[in-house]
Amino acid sequence: MSAATPPRAASEGVAASGAAGRSDGVDRGRRQILAWGAALAGVTLAPGVMLYDLAHGRPPSEPASPKVRWGMLVDLNQCASDCDACVVACDTEHGLPRTKTATSAQWIRKVELKDARGGARSVPVMCQHCADPPCVDVCPTGASFKRADGIVLVDRHTCIGCRYCMMACPYGARTFVHEPVTGQRPEVPRGKGCVESCTLCVHRVDHDRIPACVEACAASGHKALVFGNLNDPESEIARRVASYATSAVRADLRLDPGVRYAGL
């Protein structure tokens, strides 16, 4: 579980101090102390006071930070089976077709789960933004990649449309563009011959905005989707993941998805 994972800044700080301690030299002990000091200063000034802001206000000229792990919490107890606001918002945001055929692009979908006792759950499923994504493992061109902040994307400039990633993904999260596309949104380029999937609305996240599905879910009154930085203990998503049981779809695969479910 993400809640059990220490903040990455802290673990990196400890790793750095270990490296300094191993170096040969007369001042080995002093270096060790300096490294510990640096590691401590890097984590906190006082409880709850971070030296740097992990998630907010990243200027456009700065790359995505590996200290951030974007994630989404889906609270299934809040999600209504007759609501598809997230799907509509996703289609609108990215210019995806609203009428779906067997081969249509679909980045988020609602799946009905039934158990043997008759219980039913309506589950929004999208790219789970795994920490160890199988789609990235199998991609022959490096087009499928994970960004430093944990968002799994397809670089359409290098995608050759082989669809290995679609087969490797255990969540069936990716679709292939079969037909020529017109009328794209400027911030969401799409075209025939590439595989695509949920981007966690990376174009909005990079401008300090929340994904379209999360916004639409809140507007519908259900508030089943929570987006945030899993590595920031102060964020709502991290506090909720720490305070009650959440799980991953196909947790047995140990892919450490960034999308987590409560009440699954």
Partner 1 sequence: MEARHTRGTAWARGLRVVLLLALAGTAAAAGVSASRVPLPALATGAGEACVEDTPTMRRNHMELLKHQRDRTVHEGIRTTRHSLANCVNCHAGKESGRVTGSKDAFCEGCHRYAGVTLDCFDCHADRPGAATTAGAVR
Positions touching partner 1 (CB under 8 A) are: 55-56, 58, 60-64, 145, 147-149, 153, 155-157, 180-181, 183-187, 189-192, 194, 201-210, 212, 215, 218, 227-228
Query: Among residues 203 and 260, whose Cβ is nearest to partner 1?
Result: 203
Tokens, residue 76 = 């299934």
Cα separation, 125 vs 8, whole angstroms: 27
- List CB contacts of 210: < 8 A, sequence separation 6 or more: 201, 204, 227
Residue closer to partner 1, measured from CB, 13 or 133: 133
Q: Is the dihedral of CA 61, 135, 200, 226 positive or negative?
A: negative
Strands 259-262 and 70-75: parallel
Closest CB to partner 1 among residues 61, 101 = 61
Among 111, 122, 140, smallest CA distance to 81 is for 122
- Minimal distance in Å, beta carbon 244 to partner 1? 22
Q: Are 3 and 241 in contact (CB under 8 A)?
A: yes
CB of 63 to partner 1, least distance (A): 4
- Minimum distance between the CB of residue 11 and partner 1, rounded to whole angstroms? 22
Residue closer to partner 1 by CB (options 63, 119) is 63
Distance CA 42, CA 65 (A): 15
If the CB atoms of residues 88 and 264 are measured against partner 1, the closer one turns out to be: 88
Dist CA 167 CA 174 (whole Å): 9
Give least dist CB 254 to partner 1, A. Answer: 26
- Cβ 22 to partner 1 shortest distance, Å: 31
